[in-house]
Structure 1
């Protein structure tokens, strides 16, 4: 009987040891983010299972509910000081700062309006359309540019199509759907850039997950798997940006915390790389 109990115990213990930890994320995550999160967790001996949940509907709600019973365990957000106070940021830019590039959307009738632009001062006569809750709104205003607000993304495209303002700065993801409107045009002459970082965020209380993700992302950077995954998802989009042949107008970003690792070159996409 003792032998049977011992045998059962030996069979049972490995099963317990291999039980996967559930990591909850918001449903609808970009495949790149899911693959990068999976990669970062893969360096640990502890098994993890990523599960999508439906009850988190906004970025503000996601960061408030990190680690909570009705929330998620990991969020990925553009960083700012408020978010880094509310949660713990793994300060490794997930898309290598690529979302800091903005392509000017203009009306097709004005597709050559920016051909002579060389400096930020050349843009003072233009009106920029930006959604009121986008980080860009404050950034463009703080850089002395004239901004008109709108409340919904689709209404912004419609306002541009009706020439209510001159330029809608768009990220390289959103612009693909916006160009389905034949009245809109992606400018070929200029791109805006400001330093910006998307990080993984976890609860202040989840030290274990914080360490796992930090170590995993650093190892992925060291062995080249991070770069390979980045190129898999973004190389064609980076090529389409054609940054080498555009005038880059650099803006300061007052919302970026001083803790951003701007001094580590391989954390960031470099123009012409």
Structure 2
């Protein structure tokens, strides 16, 4: 999605989000569609808008650096939250993916399936090393839960690292795992582990700068997302992008292992059940 233009060439708000780390990285398509819809829902009240992506690809550390620069090319990003991010930037505290990111399944080498099928507890799972991207929110969560975490310097590099046995499994959300399997398994020879599900609460938010312009943008996005929750369009988009991948995950056949997320802020809206996907209820 290179650019989305609405109405005229005079925009009440112009948003630039970071280009994904890889040209083959499709993880963010749903997020930007949610953003576009939230802005559309508020056009009558707030005016026309423009959304575009940055010229350059940006890993998470570069995104954070650029967002702290007043005249940076980008003025918004989406990421799994933690207390430090919420101090540095202004979050819109509505989980973009309804908390789906916290439901983790694993990409593994096919030859290791029997080993993972024998896992019955967290202690069993801790015997395996887990791969994650550098700067991902999951690193601190998994480390606090006493997992051996191996960080990769780039998103694309994680898949050959798995193949080369730099770690034993790559922990991914339900939808990420199957999309990455479809896109990359032939090249890197991995499979989706079918018996385990790791859960920790991990909301994914839109973030803007903590300044007057950021507050104005956040107010509009929040208003639009609240409309989407009320009129059902957020769930409709979620189902459009995620439902087939969730079904493929086969949750009923998986053993659920849970760990806490010590990095959640006290403002996390855990008491608003309508914001969170429930795999037991399937909605």
Q: How does the TM-score come out when normalised to structure 2?
A: 0.80
2:208 to 202, 209, 228: 202
Structure 1 residues 50-89: aligned runs within 5 Å = 50-55=51-56, 57-66=58-67, 68-89=70-91
Name the residue aligned to 1:112.
Answer: 114
What secondary structure is seen at the aligned counterpart in 1 of 2:186? Answer: coil
Inter-CA distance 178–251: structure 2 relative to 1 (3 Å threshold): farther
1:189 to 174, 185, 195: 195
In structure 1, how many angstroms separate the alpha carbons of the residues matched to 2:15 and 2:127? 47
Q: Is the 8 A contact 2:18 2:53 kept in 1?
A: yes
1:139 to 126, 138, 141: 141
Q: CA deviation at 1:149?
A: 4.1
Q: In the comparison of the two structures, how many residue pairs are matched?
A: 257
Q: Is the 8 A contact 1:243 1:271 kept in 2?
A: yes
Q: Is the 8 A contact 1:179 1:186 kept in 2?
A: no
Larger radius of gyration: 1
Inter-CA distance 218–166: structure 2 relative to 1 (3 Å threshold): same
In structure 1, how many angstroms separate the alpha carbons of the residues matched to 2:53 and 2:92? 20
Whether 1:24 and 2:15 are equivalent positions in the alignment is yes
Deviates more, 1:100-109 or 1:115-124: 115-124
What secondary structure is seen at the aligned counterpart in 2 of 1:95? Answer: coil
Q: Is the 8 A contact 1:65 1:72 kept in 2?
A: yes
Q: Is the 8 A contact 2:104 2:198 kept in 1?
A: yes
What secondary structure is seen at the aligned counterpart in 2 of 1:70? Answer: coil
Whether 1:180 and 2:186 are equivalent positions in the alignment is yes
Q: CA deviation at 1:123?
A: 2.0
Q: How does the TM-score come out when normalised to structure 1?
A: 0.83
Tell me the alpha carbon deviations over residues 175-209 of structure 1, each in whole angstroms, 9 at most, x when there is no partner.
32342346322111002111111111122222222
In structure 1, how many angstroms separate the alpha carbons of the residues matched to 2:115 and 2:159? 18
1:36 to 30, 34, 37: 34
Inter-CA distance 181–258: structure 2 relative to 1 (3 Å threshold): farther
Whether 1:230 and 2:235 are equivalent positions in the alignment is no
Unaligned runs of 5+ in 1: 1-16
In structure 2, how many angstroms separate the alpha carbons of the residues matched to 1:63 and 1:167? 27
What secondary structure is seen at the aligned counterpart in 1 of 2:31? Answer: helix
Q: Is the 8 A contact 1:87 1:203 kept in 2?
A: yes
Tell me the alpha carbon deviations over residues 67-125 of structure 1, each in whole angstroms, 9 at most, x when there is no partner.
83333232212111221111111100001111112222222111121223232122233
Q: CA deviation at 1:132?
A: 4.2
Unaligned runs of 5+ in 2: 1-7, 21-27
Tell me the alpha carbon deviations over residues 18-65 of structure 1, each in whole angstroms, 9 at most, x when there is no partner.
942242222546332222112111233212222333257343443454
Q: Is the 8 A contact 1:102 1:169 kept in 2?
A: yes
Q: Is the 8 A contact 2:101 2:202 kept in 1?
A: yes
Q: Is the 8 A contact 2:107 2:192 kept in 1?
A: yes
